[in-house]
Amino acid sequence: MKLRYFSHSAFQMTTDNGKVILIDPFLDNNPTSPVKSDSVKADYIILSHAHGDHLGDTVKIAKRCSSTAICVDELANYLEAKGLNVHNMHIGGSYGFDFGRVKFTIAHHGSKTPDGEYAGEPAGIIISSGGKNIYHAGDTGLFYDMKLIGERYKIDYMLLPIGDNYTMDIYDAVKAVEYVNPAVAVPMHYNTFPVIKADPNVFKQKLEALGKKCKVMQYGEEIEV
């Protein structure tokens, strides 16, 4: 499976059977993304929550590519009313798709649509495909139940926010990595805007001092996971 980082919390996964999945595709209004929405493809779009910097260009991309949006029920209903194909899920539940399995976890944050509608609870996302488990923590503060995720899943890549203000800062994100114990931690949700300025190399150094692996992905970079 391939994992590409666009910046902020936006990633693209290409599974071994060739399915393309976007997570939180905030591209066109994202000052740090090297890629805009008209140049991406998606079979599926998985959303952590409905804030504009995560919902992003979902409607535009999904209409052009006939993608299926996978998200919590309330947000799925909103997107279905906009004409999208959706798969409604909710926190604690998982479902097997043709690319692998998706489970939604808790995330401590908020969520509402750009139209101001209630969009259900924000979520974290665990994607299992090709024998790998990727945990995208969404926007969240630190929570102790992350330990339960690490107990149940051998997480290969944990994608987690470090930018502070709206989410965990670097100190809390290091704790989160200790709780989940992934093979590799990847920082996200930083430096997109001045208010979430953070140095990912400080995060990396703190983790390495604890014997943990961290990959700081460049904007646009794609890696094999």
Mark residue 80 as left, alpha or beta (left: phi above 0; alpha: psi -120 to 50; beta: remaining). alpha
Sequence-ordered list of residues with C-beta below 8 angstroms from that of 173, at least 6 positions apart, any chain: 142, 160, 161, 162, 185, 187, 203
The single residue among 24, 121, 139, 172 that binds Mn ion, judged by CB under 5 A, is: 139
Measured from the CB atom, the residue of 4 and 8 that comes closer to Ni ion is 8
**Which residues, 185 to 214, sit near Ni ion by CB under 5 A?**
none
**Minimum gap (Å) between residue 91 Cβ and Mn ion:** 18
Report the DSSP pairing between strands 157-161 and 68-72: unpaired
Measured from the CB atom, the residue of 87 and 193 that comes closer to Mn ion is 193
Q: Which stretch binds Ni ion (CB under 5 A): 32-40, 43-51, 95-103, 113-121?
A: 43-51
Helices and strands: H and E segment counts in the chain:
6, 13
Q: Rule CB under 5 A: is residue 112 a binding residue for Ni ion?
A: no
Q: Rule CB under 5 A: is residue 139 a binding residue for Ni ion?
A: yes
Q: Cα separation of 38 and 132, whole Å?
A: 29
**106 DSSP β-pair partners:** 123
The letter for the amino acid at 117 is E
The residue with tokens 């102790």 is 144
Sequence-ordered list of residues with C-beta below 8 angstroms from that of 116, at least 6 positions apart, any chain: none
Q: Cα separation of 138 and 75, whole Å?
A: 15
Q: Rule CB under 5 A: is residue 164 a binding residue for Mn ion?
A: no
**Which residues, 53 to 72, sit near Mn ion by CB under 5 A?**
53
Measured from the CB atom, the residue of 53 and 169 that comes closer to Mn ion is 53
Measured from the CB atom, the residue of 25 and 100 that comes closer to Mn ion is 25
Residue count, binding to Mn ion (CB under 5 A): 2
Measured from the CB atom, the residue of 111 and 128 that comes closer to Mn ion is 111
**Minimum gap (Å) between residue 156 Cβ and Ni ion:** 25
**Minimum gap (Å) between residue 54 Cβ and Mn ion:** 6
The letter for the amino acid at 93 is G
Question: Which residues of the shown chain bind Ni ion in the complex (CB under 5 A)?
Answer: 51, 139
Residues of this chain that interact with Mn ion (CB under 5 A) are 53, 139
